[in-house]
Amino acid sequence: MSKIAVVAFGGNALIRANELGTIEQQEKNAYDTCIKVVELIKNGYSIVITHGNGPQVGNILLRNEAGYSQFKIPKMPLDICVADSQGGIGYMIERQMRNVLNDLNMDKNVVTLVTQVLVDVNDPAFENPTKPIGAFYLKEEADLLTKANKWIFKEDPRKRGWRRVVASPKPIEIMNQDIVKELANRGHIVIAAGGGGVPIYRHENNYLEAIEAVIDKDLASALLAAKIGADAFFIITDVPKVFINFNTPNQKALNKIDVDEAKEYLNNGEFAAGSMGPKISAAINFVENGGGETVITEASELQKPDCGTRIVGKGSS
């Protein structure tokens, strides 16, 4: 039995700010992130990697629309687009991780699983879709797409246009979580639950059906980490630590806090809903469901013994 760490790659693991997202850029970024994550293996962890897919699935949706309008290629539903992004991103990470292991003379197997995630079809999130996906459109374009596809659009808060929104239900079960645990316990590197996983639900006869939704990547990663008994959950982002009073003269880095402190900061609005908020929620979920600790940091910090902001059980800080 190995110590297990689930490592959630943020968006900048593949596409950095001000980059176009070419394959060369994404592969280089994946290699750079993987070589830093290997520090955890050197510290005795078996690792399970999860990842986001926001820019990539957005591009897949654009190709969907362009292919249909130009060549009448049938559009694929959102679940297929999410699965496509999982496969493509997982392949990139797996290949670059193999290259890193080769460069470091380390012998490890790496495997990517296209992962389905069970949700509740009656989740209240389906009554109020909030997760933006895809491109920005003019109001007139959004209205036409609504009529053609029965999509829901909302105006961007920064007035950049109108974007399609879908539900973001709570993940209930990670399919194949037992296989992920078995592989990790044997020391293999597993890539799973990419983009939060492909959301599915069960009919009464146990038949699995896809549903138009996007699952939060960090919440799905936290659930996977808890279900496989991970010792630690690392959320890789673009800052070395979590801050309160962020971007003010009074900003303060958090080193180690317990779940009660994390909840208090979250409830007081310290963490934005579109950035750090979901990460803190995921950190709390993992620890409260039996996990050891959550670490939120950037990849370059992983070589430090007390890197990042650590969220631990009540009274442990």
| Phi, psi of 256, deg, nearest 5 | -145, 120
**279 by DSSP, 3-state: which?**
helix
Q: DSSP string of 194-258?
A: GGG-EEEEE-TT--EEE-SB---HHHHHHHHHHHTT-SEEEEE-SSSSEEESTTSTT-EEE-EEE
Could you tell me the strand order of the sheet in which 131-137 lies?
A: 131-137, 162-166, 152-155
Answer for the pair 221, 8: CB distance below 8 angstroms, yes or no.
yes
Q: Which of 279, 285, 292, 308 is catalytic?
A: 279
Query: Which tokens sit at 72?
Result: 């009448």
Determine whether 54 is an active site residue: no
Rounded Cα distance between 175 and 134, Å, is 26
Pick the catalytic residue from 3, 12, 87, 161: 12
Lay out the sheet containing 173-174: strands in order across.
173-174, 116-118, 198-202, 208-210
| 3 state DSSP class of 50 | strand
Known catalytic membership, residue 279: yes
Look at residues 266, 265, 243 and name the one whose alpha carbon lies nearest to residue 253.
243
**Contact at 8 Å (CB) between 79 and 115?**
no
* Residue 154 annotated as catalytic: no
| Whether residue 108 lies in the annotated active site | no
Burial class (CB in 10 A: 0-12, 13-18, 19+), 37: buried
Q: How far apart are CA 282 and CA 303, in angstroms?
A: 23
- Tell me the backbone φ, ψ of residue 275, rounded to 5 degrees: -140, -85
Residue 131 bears catalytic tag? yes
User: Which is the catalytic residue, given 36, 181, 217, 241?
Assistant: 217
**Catalytic-labelled residue, pool 10, 53, 58, 131:** 131
Q: Among residues 181, 128, 261, which one has the least CA distance to residue 3?
A: 181
Q: Which residues are catalytic?
A: 11-12, 131, 217, 279
